[in-house]
A and B are shown apart, each in its own frame.
Chain A
Amino acid sequence: MRSKSVESMIRVDHAGEYAAVCIYHGQGVVFSRTRDADKIQEMQEHERVHFRYFNNLILQRRVRPTLFLPVWHVAGVALGYVTAMMGKKAAMACTAAVEEVICDHYSNQVAQLDDSERDLSDKILQFCAEEREHMETAISCGAEE
């Protein structure tokens, strides 16, 4: 297992979870007084946990974090905010789409990891399952409207 590609995986995942937190933040701002606020908060908390995990990996393994973090911050919050302003359905559609992409991405990564990174691949699988839950929550929420 080339350590360089593990490093870049960690970097990408770190950025991805950071962006996810930002997206939920943007959506949460718009929905802050509605019933969905709780759900969004909960999902954001999951993403935060994921982010903290990758953050720790970055520090432990001395991986270089991505230079574009500020860009993802702005883009994420903007995306969340705009889709939320477009309405609940749009927001949920956005969430579902993002989570689906993330889940695919995680599955690809796990396929690339070998046995030397057992812990990492287990964690990623777990995160993948949680993201899939988010996706299903979003779909069911959007479908109810």
Chain B
Amino acid sequence: MYRTAAKRLLSSTTVVKSSDARFRLRNLQTIVTSTGICTSANPQSISNQNPNNQNQIPRTKPNQSDSTASSSPTSSSSSRPTSFTADEARRRHHHHHDERRIPRVKYQDEQARVLHASLCHVMKLGWSEEAMIAGARDAGVSPAIVGSFPRKDAALVEFFMDECLQKLIDRIDSGEELQNLAPSTPSNIPTSFKQRAILLDEIWHTAGDEGSDINWYVKRTVVGGIYSTTEIYMLTDSSPDFRDTWSFLDDRVKDAFDFKKTIQEAQYLAEAVGAGMGNSLQGFVKRVFQG
């Protein structure tokens, strides 16, 4: 399903080569890091834009629905963008548009409303209980509800991150021109392992990954590395439109595909470590035999 959305985004590419995967991966990365995931500076947009779809309780992973309509991919490693017509792609992803949910902690309606409302207060009061109390007051619920959240402060943060992730997924689904989203400073989307795992899975899936063996793990680890370094880079980037970050990202993605260079760097690293260890061992032995 994401493949169709991604292909629509990149509808000009019909050539199938590893460069294609690279292009798509790069594009996807820019999508993810540039997505309009705002910090608490702009939580209104989140709470306003998702009035309906976040508060449903059963949040099943819609793998069932995916399997029925999505084209069954072969296990060949070269993913070929088959010629979907734009209509077919649109039809497919609209069919699944409402069903894509990440597995999230389930909140009851009231709690969810309180969390939504609290997001607005985070700017002044931080990610804390005070923000949640203020949010509860806004939502017209007794502040005592704050005590009922299983993990208090963490709940609010987790909720925000889940919202961001869900919003990202919805954006990917709707196939917007993600490059032109209006980002303020992007927040760290996943700091918890599980959310990071989900994010990496999304990235690869949209880029058309079809591995189902150890590569599955290797690819996700690699992308995880690229993502973290880019994220950190972005925090210190002050160029207009984050241009430096994108070029940094491009270089990292190129590195990932340029295996020879990676192996060579690994060799250098191994040599350096070996030399260091050798020297320290030597010094140690000398001292032992002298003392």
Contacts and interface: CB of A to CB of B under 8 A. Distances in A.
Interface of A: 3, 7, 14, 52, 55-65, 67, 69-70, 116
A14 B212 contact: yes
A41 to B, nearest CB: 21
Contacts of A56: 72-75
Interface string B199-237: 001000100001011101100000000000000000000
A3 B217 contact: no
Looking at chain A's contact residues, is the secondary structure mostly helix, strand, loop, or mixed?
Answer: helix
A97 to B, nearest CB: 26
B60 A3 contact: yes
A67 B217 contact: yes
Given A3-B63, A3-B64, A7-B63, A60 B214 contact: no
B64 A65 contact: no
A59 B75 contact: yes
Nearest to A58: B212
Nearest 4 pairs of A and B residues by beta carbon: A61-B63, A60-B67, A58-B212, A65-B212
B61 interface: yes
Contacts of B73: 56, 59-60
Task: Classify chain B's interface size.
Answer: 10 to 19
Contacts, number: 46
A59 B72 CA distance: 8
29 contacts: A3-B60, A3-B64, A55-B212, A56-B72, A56-B73, A56-B74, A56-B75, A57-B67, A59-B72, A59-B73, A59-B75, A59-B212, A60-B63, A60-B66, A60-B67, A60-B70, A60-B72, A60-B73, A61-B63, A61-B64, A61-B66, A63-B63, A64-B216, A65-B212, A65-B216, A67-B217, A70-B213, A70-B214, A116-B64
Interface in B44-80: 60-61, 63-64, 66-67, 70, 72-75
Query: Max chain A CB contacts within 10 Å: which of B60, B64, B205?
Result: B64
A64 B214 CA distance: 10
B70 A65 contact: no
A91 B145 CA distance: 65
A3 B61 contact: yes
Interface of B: 60-61, 63-64, 66-67, 70, 72-75, 201, 205, 210, 212-214, 216-217
Contacts of B61: 3
B66 A69 contact: no
B79 to A, nearest CB: 10
B63 A59 contact: no
A69 B72 contact: no
Contacts of A60: 63, 66-67, 70, 72-73
A103 to B, nearest CB: 24
Contacts of A67: 214, 217
Contacts of B210: 59
B75 A55 contact: yes
Nearest to A54: B212
B106 to A, nearest CB: 14
Contacts of A7: 63
Contacts of B217: 67
B213 A69 contact: yes
Contacts of A62: 63, 66, 201, 205
Contacts of B213: 65, 69-70
Contacts of B74: 56
Contacts of B60: 3
A69 B214 contact: yes
